[in-house]
Amino acid sequence: MQSSRRTDDESGSSRTDFGADQADKMSSRRKACNDCKQQKLRCDLTSAQVLTVSDYCSRCRRLGLACRIDDGFRRTRKRRQPTDLESEIQSLREQLRASQSNTSTSSQHNGTDWPVPAPVGTPGVVFNTLNQTDIGLNFSPVRPDSTPVSIDFPDATTNDADLQCLTTRPGIEPPTQHHASPFPLARPRALGNIILQIEEIDELFNMYIKHNHPYLPLIAEKKSPHEYYERSDLLFWVIMAVAARRHKSQPTLLPRLARNVTDLLWKTLRSMSHSISTIRALCLLCTWPFPTSSSTSDPTFMLVGIMLQMSTQMGLHCAFDAQDFAKVPLKLDTSEYSEWVQTWEACNIVAISVSIGCGLPLFSQVYESPSASQFESSSSESPFYLRLQIERFRLRVSLSLARPMPTGGEGALTRERSMMYHLLNLDLDELEKECSGSCDTEAWYLLAARLHLQAFYLFDHFAMEGYKDRIVGLFSTAYNLVDLGQRLNARLQGFFNHCPFFCYQTYVNAAFVLLKILTNGFFNPIVDAKAGKQLLESSITGLRQMSVANNDLPARLGDIIGFFCALPDPAVVGGVTLIDLQLKQVRNRLSMSVVGPHSMAVGHDGEGDVTAGEMPDGEAPRPSAASPISSGEPVIESGRMKKAAKAAAEAEAAAKGAAEELKKNIQEETKAEFE
């Protein structure tokens, strides 16, 4: 028995020694501090007990962090941080509403059921410009899953804050403008999963000022980007997104910004705390929208309407009487007045340009800018003065000629339109005299205005007086516009890389005008077909240079023009006789109607596809116009294009001799007419 007891004592002591050894090993194991463990970095901390700064690990000493080891510390997943912060904000708001209701000393009465408004920070359903799935836009501030709850109506002695969003009682609201600090600190900025360092922010801002700012001088060049962030985070991130369009060192920055800036945009609009900086951000975003492969998913025209309504609601159109639109005393000094006037002018320019580029009428009334003669500056000193006169002329053309023409060549409406052409051309000549001596960019805008006017000639009947001369003048205008664009692009900065999006739309319009007239059997021998074809081919290169993302609208329209240029029989596009030039398929898209029939031949809104079997001489197929950006979806054949190519081949084989004879007759008639 004694021996067995001795054996048990020895085994117990051995277990105790083993546990002590394990404890010594655990205590001697080197541990990482909290910050190094969070970042998954190697920590050179030697002692578990940190008493002085000298005991800190090298990383915490270098970064000035508090180096410590907590027994219950666990790493926090960064992807969960936004969700946790959003939940915390939601709980704090609920506590705030509960405290406000508890502190109310007024009597309560039973009320009806009202839906609970969602918090401002909760993002709704937003569009994604880089994905081609059709997603509805949710502007409602009410969450879909919210259930009606009972809310009591307070009496007249209740605080006005309790009635926010529930009644229309007038109340004193604070000014909506953000007051930035006089000396904002330069620091990294974050939006969602995007973090921009100070050097990256300065680089992008300098790129914007150098390349994009001259086209729409809406912001002050001398201010730092951090000052704009203090005034409006939306304006800051829109500037970064515009500059990121050509940021070669970070090619994925633009797609990531497209998603996050879009979320920020809708959250800002839903907050109803709008300011002049929000309107400026919308101006820039409508001028350089995010790339998309379909115009049906482009929200630019919708954002233009929001921008105009916000500007009118704030009183930018009546800046001298801004007090009429404010609930608090408001008096603008000279600099603030100038800022309001220039912002309203920029809104007018952007709205009219987007309207014409999309081929859609602008129903919002555009007021004249208030006179600046009451202050020291003159209206002619505004950086938008000449450009605004050009855009107002284009709007006048749209309002005067938007009514569809009758199919025949007789009638009072036809004579009225001829007189309207004459008057509008006289106004344009006066405008060109006023803008003489301006820069080449203003000259390009003047050509765009003339193209917008003369593109309506394609709606006219061929029997109208002076029809042939007008079509030749239209060809000359389109030729000069494309040629000037090529010369502007030859400069160091590059016109095609940084021009606004509506410049691309005007450029496409001019290219399709050249295509339609050059492929018409009647006008081909009249105009300089060789030079026109060379310029048309160079326009394809220009459109591809305007492209920002793979398979976006400029790239796709360039492929469509290239496809039509390569057809064996060009008469498929422009027709053979004088009658075939008239636009009959699309007649309600203003001057952009000339683009419609050709893009729909490949698919509605350019969304069809071109396959190798339809290409002449076995050329490689062009990118699928229906596929999303950067997607690898297979190419689908288009029945309409196959029929068009087949009809062209049959016409070329069966009527080649007749076409030559017809061409000779047309040349003889043309010479006799011009002699």
pLDDT digits 0-9 by tens, 331-390: 888 888 889 999 999 999 999 999 999 999 887 766 665 544 444 444 557 889 999 999
Q: Which amino acid is at 282?
A: L
In this structure, is residue 291 part of a structural domain? yes
Q: What integer pLDDT is reported at residue 523 of this predicted model?
A: 93
Q: What backbone torsions phi and psi does residue 395 show, to the nearest 5 degrees?
A: -65, -40
Q: What integer pLDDT is reported at residue 64 of this predicted model?
A: 84
What is the domain range of residue 58? 29-78
pLDDT in tens, 438-470: 788 999 999 999 999 999 999 888 888 889 999
Residue by residue, DSSP assigns 180-239 as --SSPPP--EEETTEEE-HHHHHHHHHHIIIIIGGGS--S-TTS-HHHHHHH-HHHHHHH
Last residue of a domain, which of 48, 63, 78?
78
Q: What CATH number is given to the structural domain containing 70?
A: 4.10.240
Give the pLDDT band of residue 414 (cuts 50, 70, 90).
Answer: confident
Q: What backbone torsions phi and psi does residue 124 show, to the nearest 5 degrees?
A: -90, -165
Q: What integer pLDDT is reported at residue 662 of this predicted model?
A: 52
Number of structural domains, the chain? 3
Same domain, 72 and 196: no
- Across the range 282-289, mean pLDDT stands at 97
In this structure, is residue 231 part of a structural domain? yes
In this structure, is residue 116 part of a structural domain? no
Q: What integer pLDDT is reported at residue 607 of this predicted model?
A: 40
Q: What integer pLDDT is reported at residue 597 of this predicted model?
A: 64
Give the pLDDT band of residue 160 (cuts 50, 70, 90).
Answer: very low
In this structure, is residue 393 part of a structural domain? no
In this structure, is residue 624 part of a structural domain? yes
Q: What backbone torsions phi and psi does residue 564 show, to the nearest 5 degrees?
A: -70, -30
Q: Is the pLDDT of residue 474 over 90?
A: yes
In this structure, is residue 196 part of a structural domain? yes
Q: Is the pLDDT of residue 480 over 90?
A: yes
Distances (CA, A) of 281 to 26, 234, 304: 58, 7, 11
pLDDT in tens, 29-73: 678 898 898 888 889 888 777 777 788 899 998 888 888 888 888
Would you say 542 and 561 are in contact if contact means Cβ atoms under 8 Å apart? no
Q: What integer pLDDT is reported at residue 21 of this predicted model?
A: 54
Same domain, 493 and 638: yes
Structure tokens at 160: 């006005």
In this structure, is residue 216 part of a structural domain? yes
Q: Is the pLDDT of residue 173 over 60?
A: no
Question: In DSSP terms, which residues pair with 195 in a beta bridge?
Answer: 190
More confident call, 100 vs 509: 509
Give the pLDDT band of residue 204 (cuts 50, 70, 90).
Answer: very high
Give the pLDDT band of residue 424 (cuts 50, 70, 90).
Answer: very high
- DSSP H helices in 247-333: 253-271, 276-287, 300-314
Q: What backbone torsions phi and psi does residue 434 show, to the nearest 5 degrees?
A: -65, -35
Same domain, 59 and 193: no
Structure tokens at 462: 């061929």
> Of 24-38, 168-182, 208-222, 629-643, which gets the smallest average pLDDT?
629-643
Give the pLDDT band of residue 669 (cuts 50, 70, 90).
Answer: low
DSSP code for 165: T
- Mean per-residue pLDDT of the chain: 75
Structure tokens at 17: 């020694």
Last residue of a domain, which of 44, 78, 112?
78
- Across the range 231-255, mean pLDDT stands at 94
- Across the range 471-489, mean pLDDT stands at 95
In this structure, is residue 459 part of a structural domain? no
Q: What integer pLDDT is reported at residue 272 of this predicted model?
A: 78
Question: In DSSP terms, which residues pair with 154 in a beta bridge?
Answer: 108
pLDDT in tens, 72-108: 888 877 666 677 787 788 888 888 887 776 655 443 4
- Across the range 227-234, mean pLDDT stands at 93
User: 224 Cβ partners below 8 Å, 6+ apart?
Assistant: 184, 186, 205
More confident call, 521 vs 408: 521
The CA distance from 306 to 361, in Å, is 15
β 189-191/108-109 pair status: unpaired
Structure tokens at 56: 């800190």
Last residue of a domain, which of 261, 293, 316?
316
